[in-house]
Structure 1
Amino acid sequence: MVFIAIFRHLPFGAACVSCVMLRVGMFGLSEAIWEKMMYEIKQPFHSGYLQVSEIHQIYWEESGNPDGVPVIFLHGGPGAGASPECRGFFNPDVFRIVIIDQRGCGRSRPYACAEDNTTWDLVADIEKVREMLGIEKWLVFGGSWGSTLSLAYAQTHPERVKGLVLRGIFLCRPSETAWLNEAGGVSRIYPEQWQKFVAPIAENRRNRLIEAYHGLLFHQDEEVCLSAAKAWADWESYLIRFEPEDVDEDAYASLSIARLENHYFVNGGWLQDDKAILNNIGKIRHIPTVIVQGRYDLCTPMQSAWELSKAFPEAELRVVQAGHCAFDPPLADALVQAVEDIFPRLL
């Protein structure tokens, strides 16, 4: 197969990059299998570090139009960090694009630090960034763990949210974390990869894998930590794409996502109970919201998006024939479209 990258112009305005993958067979190029449309990545015009606690400094950046509609991108994990490609979901001509790396990950400091690192610390950090930048209200965009954090932030500060675009709904419930990291869930779909995931854990401790991994990821021996982090991250990376490929994650780069995910999962995301987010939906039902969900998402299955849409009937649920990764073409297209469609409601 070959990839052809071209510049296109959407009705919305700015140039976007469209990557079309064409099947090459014995008769030459055939029809496009898919099309991925995201905006051209612009460099930040403003960035820095914000001291949010005695321990933590978080990285923040702004790109796009300084006078545009503010939007904040909340990455997943917890612990994944953001990348420059995340700017591509937003038209840089009309959006003031704010991206942060949450505590302990990405460019934030110190790396992989779980101390003073809870959902409510992150919610407070988002507010500190908003106040620092002098933004009154903004669009909040988040996927996977970022959808959890977006909802928690919106329910805490509804007066500061113009709209929500959510992907891969995760409500941080024990049933969801067990699906991903305990036996009997997604392990049944990829048993061969599951064997690699459980390998670091003694057989007599595999009935509570998340807790067992906690001991390894926070072990005093750095080699033990890094080995466990790599196994954790390899397992999750394999599940993210609609068409999985063999993965071999860097051990040190894996430490933040493995350690912080485990830290949050062990503590139930610091939510009051497993219905906390759904029970507080009444606080945000007036906020324009689009939910984009991959039908075949193995990390954050469709059930949670469905339950959220039932509790939040004003939100629009868009189901895409895709998996979990926001950069897989069907989801990337749907997310760009969701932002374009919600834009008039933000003005």
Structure 2
Amino acid sequence: MTSSATPAALFPDTPAFASHALPVPGGHVLSVQEYGRPDGLAAVVLHGGPGSGCSPLLRRVFDPAHWRIVCPDQRGAGASLPRGGTAHNRTGDLLDDLARIRERLGIERWVVVGGSWGAALALAHAAAEPRAVAALLLRASFLARPQDVAAFFGPLSLAQLAAELDAPEPAARERAALVWWRREQELAGTHATEPQGEALAAQVDRLRVQAHYLRHGCWLQSPTLLERCEAVPGVPVHLIHGRDDRVCTPEGAALLQSRLRGATLQWVDGAGHDAADAAMVAATVGALAHYASDGRFADGGGQP
């Protein structure tokens, strides 16, 4: 399936109707924001990174008139505290946190929407708690395989960058963050302004969390994420992937579809890894609108 939709605008950003500071074991306090309407279709948004936090873009693909949009910042990320904290911060902790958030908010089942690392976490969540998941919408899926991590870093050394991000000298941490940030920009094909000051400090914290996860295979090696697909429930699953994605390869998306029962795969021509790409936004907005109307993301099959 190839995206043929015209670019769709993001929905206007609306204020959160509820904000939660949720203490969890290990000394972390999660920031959880809710948008849309309290009686809408429940969806949880799982941000990428790890460590990136929920940006406004991730919630603005939902029509707030139809959805209850739950946006948690994962441990060490966004407005959760401590920012950049890696102690008691593993994939298993994040999965436990999702169960706590659902219980706190009184949600029995939700649609799980994730991009990049968020897609990997969404799959792990569906495998761990199949009864909690009504559907999965996965953008630019990351499989967390060793070859995926190696391809991202290319000539760079993850071990060296991770050590420098933990260096006592701020200048060393900032240099490492900029090297990593530039590599991201190169592969994603984006051209953001180079971070400075507080923005650079935030990058250091974000990448410290990401390095912590990537050095440990995101704790998704035994069993692997593909092996966990066997436990994913038979709910609507829709994959959206840019044909030119150099961060999370199209090969990985096709392989993932082959492991997920009945999953549809929507290719977005000319798009890479950038979630803000107009065609990627259109595909995501369209899939969510389709689900809100019909209880599924797409018509027909999903062969690439």
TM-score computed with the length of structure 2 as normaliser: 0.90
What CA distance in whole angstroms lies between the structure 2 residues aligned with 1:285 and 1:161?
8
Gaps of 5+ in 1: 1-33, 184-197, 199-208
Displacement of 1:217: 1.1
2:266 matched residue in structure 1: 318
What CA distance in whole angstroms lies between the structure 2 residues aligned with 1:245 and 1:93?
33
What CA distance in whole angstroms lies between the structure 2 residues aligned with 1:210 and 1:37?
37
- Higher mean Cα deviation, 36-45 or 89-98? 36-45
1:221 matched residue in structure 2: 169
Contact 2:35 2:70 in 1 (8 A): yes
Pick from 278, 298, 303: which aligns with 2:226? 278
Contact 2:126 2:233 in 1 (8 A): no
The secondary structure found in structure 1 opposite 2:31 is strand
Give the 3 Å change call, closer, same or farther, for CA 307–276 of structure 1 in structure 2. same
Q: Whose Rg is larger?
A: 1
1:262 matched to 2:211: yes
Pick from 121, 140, 143: which aligns with 1:149? 121
What does the per-residue CA deviation read over 1:303-332, in whole Å, with 9 as the maximum and x for residues that have no partner?
Answer: 110100111140000000111111110000
What does the per-residue CA deviation read over 1:103-132, in whole Å, with 9 as the maximum and x for residues that have no partner?
Answer: 111111111111111111111111111110
Structure of higher RCO (CA pairs closer than 8 Å, 6+ residues apart): 2
What does the per-residue CA deviation read over 1:274-315, in whole Å, with 9 as the maximum and x for residues that have no partner?
Answer: x61211212224011110000001111101101001111400
What CA distance in whole angstroms lies between the structure 1 residues aligned with 2:153 and 2:221?
21
What CA distance in whole angstroms lies between the structure 2 residues aligned with 1:239 and 1:182?
10
2:25 matched residue in structure 1: 53
- Among the aligned pairs, what percent are the same residue? 34
The secondary structure found in structure 2 opposite 1:227 is helix
What CA distance in whole angstroms lies between the structure 1 residues aligned with 2:148 and 2:25?
30
Displacement of 1:211: 1.1
Pick from 56, 60, 71: which aligns with 1:99? 71
Pick from 218, 235, 239: which aligns with 1:287? 235
The secondary structure found in structure 2 opposite 1:89 is coil
1:338 matched residue in structure 2: 287
2:300 matched residue in structure 1: none
Aligned AA (1:245) = H
Displacement of 1:235: 1.8
What CA distance in whole angstroms lies between the structure 2 residues aligned with 1:245 and 1:87?
22
Contact 1:238 1:247 in 2 (8 A): no
1:193 matched residue in structure 2: none
1:234 matched to 2:206: no
Contact 2:26 2:87 in 1 (8 A): no
What CA distance in whole angstroms lies between the structure 2 residues aligned with 1:285 and 1:157?
9
1:67-86 map, 5 Å: 67-86=39-58
What CA distance in whole angstroms lies between the structure 2 residues aligned with 1:116 and 1:157?
21
Contact 2:47 2:114 in 1 (8 A): yes
1:248 matched to 2:194: yes
- Higher mean Cα deviation, 263-272 or 131-140? 263-272
What does the per-residue CA deviation read over 1:126-183, in whole Å, with 9 as the maximum and x for residues that have no partner?
Answer: 1111110000000000000000100011100010000000000101111000000133
Give the 3 Å change call, closer, same or farther, for CA 116–338 of structure 1 in structure 2. same
2:102 matched residue in structure 1: 130
What CA distance in whole angstroms lies between the structure 1 residues aligned with 2:62 and 2:231?
26
1:165 matched to 2:137: yes
Give the 3 Å change call, closer, same or farther, for CA 57–246 of structure 1 in structure 2. closer
- Higher mean Cα deviation, 168-177 or 214-223? 214-223
Which has more strand, going by share of residues? 1
Give the 3 Å change call, closer, same or farther, for CA 246–128 of structure 1 in structure 2. closer
Displacement of 1:48: 2.1
What CA distance in whole angstroms lies between the structure 1 residues aligned with 2:206 and 2:26?
22
What does the per-residue CA deviation read over 1:17-49, in whole Å, with 9 as the maximum and x for residues that have no partner?
Answer: xxxxxxxxxxxxxxxxx7332222211010021
Aligned AA (1:73) = V
What CA distance in whole angstroms lies between the structure 2 residues aligned with 1:230 and 1:121?
28
Which stretches of structure 1, 4 residues or longer, exceed 3 Å deviation after superposition?
none
